[in-house]
């Protein structure tokens, strides 16, 4: 049966360029050859976060694995706006959702943050990264956001880069509307901070209000779940200062 031309996009780590050959990782080879039944001569699209997007021809798809060769550049490398998402890890499936959605929404970096009321004890960084990669493959992104090791809120704020604005999503309702905060402060590097199901502790609010780069914002009169709040805040950023304009 004939397959549609190069619908499949794969993220790889190897360098890409004209005639560059890539041996696909075992899981990707399995997906392509066994699950999708692609054969030598058919095409895929590749990106690695550095060299744009390439059309690549399958040179070999067999028991020894799958090798592909870049034949044509389809897009030059671009980056999403300089936006980070800092989020307190919540339940596993909802944390996975956050990683996937943050990638679709166009973040450069995801940083899991342990706050006082964070319930989750561990974060599986590799798992979050796998979700981000899958989302990037699906939504046409040319890079995958970096997924950082989890850090405590205290540490994060102690080392905060002063030029990066922090949109502190404050469920108390005391903050200014998020859109006014964004448009008032204007373009530049930004980060969004979303708390855990238990919200922020009083001393965390105090610490945040002492940080010059931080602005406490409201996402409306209803308390949103953390995963919803993350998508909502990222939407407002992209629509006001980001790449939705």
* Binding interface with ligand SAH (CB under 6 A): 169-171, 194-195, 197-200, 218-220, 222-224, 226, 229
Of 132 and 229, which has the nearer Cβ to ligand SAH? 229
Instruction: Report the residue number, 116 or 125, with the smaller CB distance to ligand SAH.
Output: 116
Pick 139 or 223: Cβ nearer ligand SAH? 223
| H or E element, residue 214 | strand 214-218
Query: Is the Cβ–Cβ distance between 110 and 85 less than 8 Å?
Result: yes
Q: For 112, list phi and psi in degrees, rounded to 5.
A: -70, 135
How near is the Cβ of 119 to ligand SAH at its closest, in Å?
A: 11
Residue (54 or 237) nearer to ligand SAH, CB? 237
Minimum Å distance from CB 39 to ligand SAH? 48
Compute the Cα dihedral for 96, 99, 105, 111 and give only its sign: positive
Residue 99 Cβ, how far from ligand SAH at the closest point, in Å?
A: 16
Q: Quick count: other Cβ atoms within 10 Å of Cβ 55? A: 16
Residue 202 and residue 165: Cα distance in Å, rounded? 21
**How many other C-beta atoms are found inside a 10 Å radius of the C-beta of residue 81?**
17
Q: How far is the CB of 117 from ligand SAH (least distance, A)?
A: 8
What does residue 180 show for φ and ψ, rounded to 5 degrees?
-65, -40
Cα separation, 80 vs 222, in Å, equals 29
Residue 192 Cβ vs ligand SAH, minimum distance, rounded to whole Å: 9
For 202, other C-beta atoms within 10 Å of its C-beta total 9
- Of the two residues 128 and 229, which places its CB atom closer to ligand SAH in the complex? 229
Q: Which residue is nearest to ligand SAH (CB)?
A: 195
In the complex, the smallest distance separating the C-beta of residue 121 from ligand SAH, rounded to whole angstroms, is 18
CB of 129: closest distance to ligand SAH in angstroms?
Answer: 23
Q: In what order do the strands lie in the sheet with 53-62?
A: 9-11, 43-47, 53-62, 65-75, 21-23
Q: Which is nearer to ligand SAH, 69 or 205 (CB)?
A: 205
Nearer to ligand SAH by C-beta: 22 or 234?
Answer: 234
- Tokens (6 digits) for 67: 């090798």
Cβ burial of 184 (10 Å; 0-12, 13-18, 19+) is exposed
């Amino acid at each position: 049966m004939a397959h549609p031309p190069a619908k499949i996009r794969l993220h790889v780590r190897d360098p890409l360029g004209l005639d560059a050959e890539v041996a696909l990782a075992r899981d990707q080879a399995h997906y392509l050859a066994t699950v999708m039944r692609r054969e030598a001569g058919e095409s895929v699209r590749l990106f690695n976060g550095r060299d744009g997007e390439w059309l690549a021809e399958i040179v070999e798809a067999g028991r020894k694995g799958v090798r592909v060769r870049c034949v044509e550049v389809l897009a030059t490398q671009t980056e999403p706006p300089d936006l980070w998402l800092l989020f307190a890890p919540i339940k596993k499936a909802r944390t996975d959702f956050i990683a996937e959605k943050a990638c679709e929404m166009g973040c450069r970096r995801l940083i899991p943050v342990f706050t006082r009321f964070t319930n989750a004890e561990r974060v599986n960084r590799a798992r979050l990264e796998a979700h981000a990669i899958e989302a990037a493959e699906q939504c046409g992104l040319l890079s995958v956001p970096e997924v950082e090791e989890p850090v405590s809120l205290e540490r994060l704020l102690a080392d905060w880069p002063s030029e990066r604005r922090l949109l502190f999503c404050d469920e108390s309702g005391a903050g200014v509307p998020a859109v006014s905060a964004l448009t008032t402060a204007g373009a530049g590097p930004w980060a969004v901070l979303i708390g855990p199901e238990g919200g922020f502790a009083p001393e965390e609010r105090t610490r945040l209000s002492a940080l010059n780069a931080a602005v406490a914002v409201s996402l409306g009169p209803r308390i949103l779940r953390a995963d919803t709040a993350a998508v909502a805040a990222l939407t407002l950023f992209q629509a006001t200062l980001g790449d939705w304009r």
